[in-house]
Amino acid sequence: MNLIIDVGNTLVKFAVFSDNTLIDKKAVKMEHFLVTVNGIKKQYPLIKKAIVSSVGSLKDEDLKYIDTHFKLIQLSSETKLPFKNLYDTPKTLGVDRIALVCASVQQFPSKNVLIIDAGTCITYDFVTAKNEYLGGAISPGIVVRYKSLNNLTANLPLLEIEEPKNIIGTSTNSSIHSGVINGVLKEIDGVIEEYALKYPDLTVILTGGNSNFLSKQLKSSIFANSNFLLEGLNHILQFN
């Protein structure tokens, strides 16, 4: 059994896999890290291996604790990966993006795949049918866009995510919702369209915290999978 730990910008996600089957997952705040690890260890004593992917701030003592109880891989640009990385600056490629690409080459071998991760940032990652990772794009996520409008202006309120009822906003709040959400949707559909022109047999994966919210509103044909990153981390652990 494998323990997968994904340390994000706001939450830590834990997943337990038996081979390639996800059997449990949970998300907690950083202050509950060790309590959660101990709970999982007691509940699943057969866990032998663990992988940690961190884009957030994981304490050294927390990492050492994991390392003393499991055979640990800490994901980095030096980790052995099941694809050819053609990124110009491979050492700067985020570990979350690495994990997503690994999931795509496992689940969609010999296909051109665009992975869209809609979280704090919206990332786009492209891997070819020849198993070559070319790169992609990074743009502000939905929450970042709402916060930017509030932080960088004098009078615009900070709003919670809401699906706009109309393209025409008839109040300040509805105008913000229309601008943010429709802007994101048009961006994603436009990026998919550009890739599809060059790669007509394109497979598109949508994942991340806002994937369920966005998937029903996008025009493009996609596979929505909120566990894609966790599955990619598990594949790296199995691969190593």
62 is known to lie in a ligand binding site: no
123 is known to lie in a ligand binding site: no
Please state whether 19 falls in left (phi above 0), alpha (psi between -120 and 50) or beta.
Answer: left
- CB proximity list for 61: less than 8 A, separation 6 or greater: none
133 is known to lie in a ligand binding site: no
* Residues with catalytic function: 96
190 is known to lie in a ligand binding site: no
Cα distances from 221 to residues 86, 102, 156, 204, 214, in angstroms, run 27, 21, 34, 7, 12
8 is known to lie in a ligand binding site: yes
- What is the rounded CA–CA span in Å between residue 150 and residue 171? 16
52 is known to lie in a ligand binding site: no
Residue with tokens 């890290």: 33
N residues, the chain = 240
- What is the rounded CA–CA span in Å between residue 117 and residue 97? 8
7 is known to lie in a ligand binding site: yes
Q: Which of 53, 30, 48 is nearest to 100 (CA)?
A: 53
Alpha carbons within 13 angstroms on the beta-carbon side of residue 55 total: 18
145 is known to lie in a ligand binding site: no
6 is known to lie in a ligand binding site: yes
- What is the rounded CA–CA span in Å between residue 43 and residue 26? 13
Helices marked H in the chain? 33-43, 60-69, 95-107, 142-151, 172-198, 211-215, 228-239
24 is known to lie in a ligand binding site: no
The annotation places the binding site for ATP at 6-13, 120
The annotation places the binding site for substrate at 87, 94-97, 172
The annotation places the binding site for K(+) at 117
The annotation places the binding site at 6-13, 87, 94-97, 117, 120, 172
